[in-house]
Amino acid sequence: MLDPAALLQFGQALALQPGPATLQGFQLPEGGWTYVVSIVIVSLQVSLTAVALSTLASLPVALAIGFTDFPGKRLVTAVINTGMGFPSVVVGLVVLMLLSNSGPFGDLGLAFTPEAMIVSQFVLAVPVVTSISLSAVESVEQPVRDAAYAMGGTKRDVGLVVIKEARYGIVTAVLAGFGRAISEVGSILIVGGNIVFSDGQSYTRTLTTAITVEARQGRYEVGLVLGVVLLALVLVVNAVGSWLRDKGRGEGSV
Amino acid sequence: MTLRATDVSMAFDGDEVLENVSLEASPGEIVTLVGPSGTGKTTLLRLLALFERPDAGTVSWDGEDAWALGEDERLSVRRRLSMAFQEPSLFNAPVARNVAYGLRVRQGWASRARSALGRLVGPDTGPPEAVAAALERVGLGDKRDQNALSLSGGEAQRVAFARALAVEPEILLLDEPTSNLDPRNTAVLEEAILDAAEDGVGVVVATHDMHQAERISDRVVFLLDGETVESGPPERIFDDPDDPRTRRFVRGELLYDADEVDEGSTEQNSPGSGRVSSQSE
């Protein structure tokens, strides 16, 4: 295990020529590794929770839309697809208005909390997860659903078969939703407030919002390091996703 | 244990596909549905399998209208039938799991969860006996671990048949079960159908293949343009049919388009025969 304190010293030792725009070394911001680690934890907590919740909400919607024909289906699909391009600052603004003390949900006291960030990332990820899983669900052909029904499956069994047949597409949808959530800045800056406690523990600061702070303060190296950490996280999550997707190939579990 | 369609009619988008057709399937009997493409054979099988409710007429199980039953009771009727389609429509999973699907949905959720868990952590116990037996019957015992989507067309069709057979149905509905098979495998499948009937399963087979109908049927039903023209034992239908249209169909003259054959014909005066619907298949 790495000792954070030792690393901090290492970081300081490397900072031979502190100052902006030098890549020879970098000075960790106040709070050191505690700060960085807590930022990573907040980022992951917020984005993973938001994506898990949006998957739970999106899959039934995608199944319902994919399974039924109703007037206005194309319109609903178009609206969901449009939702993928929601400007995140607008979402942040609306969520803050709803959650602020004077807003309809002000009593919940959620403004400037990680929960508020989860809400706004949820809103941003839902259209992405819904839209991509909808096209995955729709690609499962009617004869396959018919086969499940003809073998004595209930509606729920048929739905389960569709989810399992569409599993690669659904994993892709979840990964895309996670990508949208973790790389998000605008809305969580507005609803979370980018708060760090005086001991360096992050409350609502994530990797992305921390990078904006570092960039504004001219500490590009720290910003870059945080960027690398962010990239590494996205890479790890995607690798796990791809592994899951490929693992099922050929040995699915209908 | 009798599945009966009585005077069923069905239309899609205003296009009549079946008109007042009746058919009965009873234990141990093989009924073949013959007729040109698009004549309503698939639609009739789907009505028998309780996919859709007929526009008119009834589909009944042991005299009880299946669509008058509650959802749960209808499900238990459905679970005494099974159907294999012309298109195999297999799941993206190993062959054995495809064939075991019908058995799995018949288990409760708790037992399904237990066996899923058992598959993750426990030793490989192999497929249930009925699954292995069904696969052996169609000559695919060695393919059980292969992914079903990697099979050839003929193998896939045999797996689809095994999947329908593995639930040990009382009535087995088959839509063109040998359309993708070579003569040797056609013989394997016909043998399996005859075996099933011998075991007391009632079988309804829709087929284009007149020789097959002659080989396996106890009773042949000739459908044309959504109506029953004639039905009876194969010897009579093939050697001495009552209706001139049946005779022409059996001779191979009425295969695809009733219109073309009808023109200039004096034998033909059925009102519905000028149209061949392409809706049902």
- B204-258, pLDDT tens digit by residue? 999 988 899 999 999 999 999 899 999 999 999 988 888 888 888 888 776 554 4
Structural domain boundaries of chain A? 32-246
Q: Which residues pair with B204 in a beta bridge?
A: B31, B173
Task: Read off the pLDDT of residues B51-63 as tens digits, 9 standing for 90 and up.
Answer: 999 999 999 999 9
Determine the Cα–Cα distance for residues B245 and B260; give it in Å rounded to an integer: 13
Task: Read off the pLDDT of residues A175-229 as tens digits, 9 standing for 90 and up.
Answer: 999 999 999 999 999 999 999 998 889 999 999 999 999 999 998 888 898 999 9
How far away is chain A from the Cα of B246, in angstroms, using its nearest Cα? 31
For residue A177, what are its two tokens?
């939703």
A34-38, A94-98, B257-261: segment of lowest average pLDDT = B257-261
Distant-in-sequence, close-in-space partners of A136: CB < 8 Å, separation ≥ 6: A62, A166, A168, A169, A170, A172, A173
How far away is chain B from the Cα of A242, in angstroms, using its nearest Cα? 18
How far away is chain B from the Cα of A45, in angstroms, using its nearest Cα? 28
The residue that leads in pLDDT, B181 or B1, is B181
Q: Which residue of A has its CA nearest to B148?
A: A250
Residue A3 has what pLDDT?
A: 52
* Mean pLDDT within B5-23: 93
Determine the Cα–Cα distance for residues A117 and A186; give it in Å rounded to an integer: 11
Pairing state between β B15-25 and B30-34: unpaired
How many percent of chain B have pLDDT more than 70? 89
pLDDT at A23 over 80: no
pLDDT at A252 over 60: no
Task: Read off the pLDDT of residues A100-151 as tens digits, 9 standing for 90 and up.
Answer: 999 999 999 999 999 999 999 999 999 999 999 999 999 999 999 999 999 9
Rounded (to 5) percent helix, strand, coil in chain A: 70, 0, 30
Torsion angle of alpha carbons B92, B95, B98, B103, nearest 10°?
Answer: -150
pLDDT at B267 over 60: no
Q: Which residues of B touch A151 (CB under 8 A)?
A: 82, 101-102, 105, 163-164, 167
The residue that leads in pLDDT, A92 or A17, is A92
- Report the residue from A154, A250, A254 with minimal CB separation from B101: A254
Pairing state between β B202-206 and B171-175: parallel
Quote the radius of gyration of chain B (alpha carbons, Å): 20
Determine the Cα–Cα distance for residues A181 and A196; give it in Å rounded to an integer: 20
Residue B254 has what pLDDT?
A: 63
Residue B98 has what pLDDT?
A: 95
- Cβ <8 Å between A146 and B85: yes
Residue B266 has what pLDDT?
A: 41
- Cβ <8 Å between B105 and A150: no
How many percent of chain A have pLDDT more than 70? 85
* Mean pLDDT within A33-39: 88
Q: Which residues of B touch A154 (CB under 8 A)?
A: 75, 105
Q: Which residue of A has its CA nearest to B77?
A: A152
The residue that leads in pLDDT, B20 or A30, is B20
The DSSP 8-state label assigned to residue B29 in this structure reads -
- Report the residue from B51, B84, B94 with minimal CB separation from A149: B51
pLDDT at B147 over 80: yes
Residue A22 has what pLDDT?
A: 40
**pLDDT class of A26 with cuts at 50, 70, 90:** low
- Cβ <8 Å between B90 and A147: yes
Q: Which residues of B touch A254 (CB under 8 A)?
A: 91-93, 97-98, 101
Q: For chain A, what's the residue count?
A: 254
- Report the residue from A150, A161, A250 with minimal CB separation from B91: A161
**pLDDT class of B275 with cuts at 50, 70, 90:** very low
Chain B residues within 8 angstroms (CB to CB) of chain A:
49, 51, 75, 78-79, 82-85, 87, 89-94, 97-98, 101-102, 105-106, 116, 119, 147, 150, 160, 163-164, 167
Task: Read off the pLDDT of residues B166-181 as tens digits, 9 standing for 90 and up.
Answer: 999 999 999 999 998 9
Structural domain boundaries of chain B? 3-80+169-274, 93-161
Q: Which residues pair with B65 in a beta bridge?
A: B60
- Cβ <8 Å between B85 and A147: yes
How far away is chain B from the Cα of A32, in angstroms, using its nearest Cα? 43
* CATH number belonging to domain A32-246: 1.10.3720.10
Residue A221 has what pLDDT?
A: 86
Q: Are B16 and B259 in contact (CB under 8 A)?
A: no
**pLDDT class of A32 with cuts at 50, 70, 90:** confident
- Cβ <8 Å between A144 and B89: yes
Q: Which residues of B touch A146 (CB under 8 A)?
A: 51, 85, 89
Residue B271 has what pLDDT?
A: 41
Most B CBs within 10 Å, among A69, A137, A142, A151, to test the B interface: A151
Mean pLDDT of chain A, nearest integer = 86
- Report the residue from A148, A154, A252 with minimal CB separation from B92: A252
The CATH architecture of the domain made up of B3-80+169-274 is 3-Layer(aba) Sandwich (3.40)
Total beta-carbon pairs less than 8 A apart between chain A and chain B? 75
Q: Which residues of B touch A141 (CB under 8 A)?
A: 89
* Mean pLDDT within B60-69: 94
pLDDT at A249 over 60: no
- Cβ <8 Å between A150 and B85: yes
